[in-house]
Amino acid sequence: MAQNTENKLDASMQNEVSVDEDVLALRAPLVLVRRDEQGEWIFEGPGEPPRPTVRTVLGAVVNAWPHVSALAELEPGASAIWSWDNHGWTSEFECTCGECEQPVAADLDRRTWPSELDPEDLVSVEETALSGQEVLTNILYTSGRIAMLGPGEQHRTSDQLASVAMANVIRRWPHAMRALRSVRSGYLLRWNPESLNWHEYEAI
């Protein structure tokens, strides 16, 4: 996996981290991030621990899953869970009223699926972005189809693209759900790693 020079996290991008094997193999979404008491980062999918993990470097994870960059304030000994309902990270907490619903690291729940997106729609995804070799930077809607691309020119040849179901695209990049709901024909959405959001531009 390629490495991103942007670093909002409290650690070197060269630091070794542990990643759930299923997440790394794109079989599960990255929905749980923990730091042990020594500050080491652990990235996991849904399901009960312990889970088989693979060692890589933090920069590779940030490159492949940009939504983890929002965890700059995650301290050693703490964890964060991705909320599909709120499209963001939430923390585990101790309920004192007995009515709170404890967040759970879960796969994408079709019951909360936005009505304006068809989970079976096919999206053209650049292979190098899908594998994590390049950062996902652009979402383009043109000629009736959405394309999700890495940096560089907008044009791609067919051998550079894979057709992926919308549901699996969002499982791969949870932070893209809102963008996919708002993308307009003839416009480009570009990820801003500084502000950690998508900006809209008219496609050239």
93, pLDDT greater than 80 = no
- Per-residue pLDDT reduced to its tens digit, 178-198: 999 999 998 999 999 889 999
* pLDDT given at position 54: 95
Task: Tell me the pTM.
Answer: 0.86
- Per-residue pLDDT reduced to its tens digit, 30-55: 999 999 999 999 999 998 878 899 99
Q: Residue 110 burial (CB < 10 Å; 0-12/13-18/19+)?
A: exposed
Task: Determine the residue type at 118.
Answer: D
How many angstroms separate the CA atoms of 129 and 63, rounded? Answer: 9
